[in-house]
Structures are given as structure tokens and as C-alpha cells.
Structure 1
Amino acid sequence: MKKRAFLLLAFIAIVQFSFAQEANYQLSSHILDITAGKPATGVKITLSKKDKNDNWKKIDEKKTDENGRIKDFLNQDGANNLGIYKLTFHTSPYFNSLEQKSFYPFSEVVFEINDSEHYHVPITLSPFGYSTYRGN
């Protein structure tokens, strides 16, 4: 009985430790291809931050998943992420892979993080236009 109780307590401790180790991210993005009516997968998105001298510094770069999402920009654990940021959506390779002509080789969305809330910056995309908003 003691062994079973010990194993149960060890399991609970491992589960709690695992959840405690999950990182929190302050920024996410999503691309919906409105022409195809589905998520845009495999699109590279570059995150940059404006420095004190008004220069852009690349912070991170990822590709959208099968749902057109990137969920893990800007680790929030103990970080001060205040500032002006830019997401560069590298759309030309995406449209080239679909053998579609497009007008914008990339699009950039500039925004400001001024608190510790979560920011979601999605775009709706077509070969000749895009739109963005602050999501949740």
C-alpha cells in the first residue's frame, strides 16, 4: 500500500512539474488563405523589434503549422516584451508553391506591445491583397 501511495505521489509531482514548465508566449499569428478557404501552411514569418536607434532587429523566424498558425513568439516567462514589433509574412514562396501569381512578395504588419496581455496578429491573404486585425 505504501509503495502504491508513493508511486501516486511521484506521478502527481511529475505531472505538476511538467505543467509548471510549460512556457507562456505573448505573441501568436495566423494566416488564412481566403482564396483557397483554408490555412496557409509552411509560410515563413519573421519577427523583428525596433531598437532605440529606430533600427529593426530580427528576433525570431518560424513557419506556419498545418493550421496556418505560429503560437510561440515572444516567451513571456519573466521577460519584458514591451516595444514596437514587425511581423514579415513571406508570401511569395507560398504562392509560388501553388503556381499562383501574386502582387505582394511579402507583407509587413507593425504593432506595439504596451502591456503583458497576449497579442494575436493574424492576416487574411489572397494573391492580390491582405488584411490584418488584432485577434485574441
Structure 2
Amino acid sequence: MTTVSTHVLDAALGRPAAGLALYLTLPDDSARTATTDADGRVRFDGDVPPGPHMLTFATGPWFAEQDRENFFPEVTIAFTVTAGEHHHVALLLSPFSYTTYRGS
């Protein structure tokens, strides 16, 4: 089975980014929507097709709900899914920067 998950950490406050809306765009341009849980995590259910994907995080509204200034209204990460593997895309987020990497 091919799977995708993410974990978002608020690096400025040193805690998970709970309640952050995001969506996974699949190779056919359809999308799966989700919201991070209390630990800042999302695991997309079901088999994910191989090919190019994008994770888009609605960072602007998330920061605005907390009355925090931010520079990026959204963060989009493009990556390639390989059949039969698990893909974990982590996002370290702060109001004026972000870092991403493939986790385990």
C-alpha cells in the first residue's frame, strides 16, 4: 500500500500546529482535504496513487485565527510518490519561514 502523512510543528512556539487545514492534490488534480489533529498530524486514509503530488497548508488563516502576523498565506510542497512506500512530509512552520523534509 502507498500512503502519505504529514506532521506540522509550530517552530516559533515549540508545539504541534493543531487545527491547520490542508489538502493533498493527487496526479489527476483531485484533492483530499484534512485538518491536523492535536499533535499536528494527518495520515491520509487509503491507497495513494504514484506520481506527482502537492500538499498545500492553509497557513494564513491558521495564523490569523491566533491573531499572529505571518508572511506566507499558504505553503505548498510538491513531491513524488513512489508505489508501495510510505511518504511522510514534515513541515516546521514559523510566521516568517518554513522548512520541510521527508520523514519516516
- State if a TM-score over 0.5 links the two structures: yes
Q: Hey, which bits of structure 1, 4+ residues long, moved more than 2 A?
A: none
Matching residue within 25, 36, 51 for 1:83: 51
TM-score when scaled to structure 2? 0.93
Partner in structure 2 of residue 64 of structure 1: 36
CA distance in 2, matches of 1:74, 1:68: 16
CA distance in 2, matches of 1:25, 1:50: 14
- Seq. identity, %: 37
Partner in structure 2 of residue 30 of structure 1: 7
More helix by share: 1
User: Which structure 1 segments of 5+ residues have no match?
Assistant: 1-23, 52-56
TM-score when scaled to structure 1? 0.72
User: Which structure 2 segments of 5+ residues have no match?
Assistant: none
Which protein has the larger Cα radius of gyration, Structure 1 or Structure 2? Answer: 1
More strand by share: 2
Aligned length: 104
